[in-house]
Amino acid sequence: MTTASDIMHRGAQCIDADQTLMAAAKMMRDMEVGALPICGPDGMLKGIITDRDIVVKCLAAGKDPSTMMAMDLAGHLHCVKASDDMETVLKKMEQHQIRRMPVIENGRLVGMISEADLAMGHRDGQRLTDRQIIEFMDSIYVSR
């Protein structure tokens, strides 16, 4: 059985909840990612922020990214456990239209699963079936 920990990208870095959106944007640029998990002072996962969140909910709303905090944009958090099987992971991503899923263990972030990770798992031929990929792509891109 393939689990979330088998396919996730390890070493995901958090932005602190009290850091600015400007800091988040620079971190995304430097790491070449489109999303960052948000962690509180206790090291626990509090949310996730995307580049789109910064553009739509901050810049387009006329707010200042150098004063707005990452936690200000942390909406409802969806995540999976490292031990969850891939059917559970895909179902959650499809149900909530999520393209990047934080993976936790004991409440702490241990990795992220992105569309690229799913594609690599499919390409490797050992983690995801054609049917799983097709159903995921249909639910994320076609049903909108």
DSSP 98-112: -SEEEEEETTEEEEE
Which domain CATH number covers 8? 3.10.580.10
Domain that holds residue 10: 4-142
Look at residue 48 in the predicted model and tell me its pLDDT: 92
Tens digit of pLDDT for each residue in 52-68? Answer: 999 999 999 999 999 99
Cα separation of 62 and 79, whole Å? 30
Question: How many domains, the chain?
Answer: 1
DSSP state, 56? Answer: I
Using an 8 Å Cβ cutoff, are 84 and 2 in contact? no
Helix (H) or strand (E) holding 136: helix 130-137
**pLDDT-based confidence at residue 98 (cuts at 50, 70, 90):** confident
Residue 134 carries which side chain, given as an amino acid letter? I
pTM, entire model:
0.79
**pLDDT-based confidence at residue 92 (cuts at 50, 70, 90):** very high
Which residues are bridge partners to 42 per DSSP? none
Nearest residue to 93 (alpha-carbon basis) of 60, 51, 135, 124: 135
Query: What does the buried/exposed string (b/e) look like for 101-132 if buried means 16 or more CB atoms within 10 Å of the residue's CB?
Result: bbbbeeeebbbbbbbebbeebbeeeebbeeeb
Tens digit of pLDDT for each residue in 9-53? Answer: 887 889 999 999 999 999 999 999 889 999 988 888 899 999 999
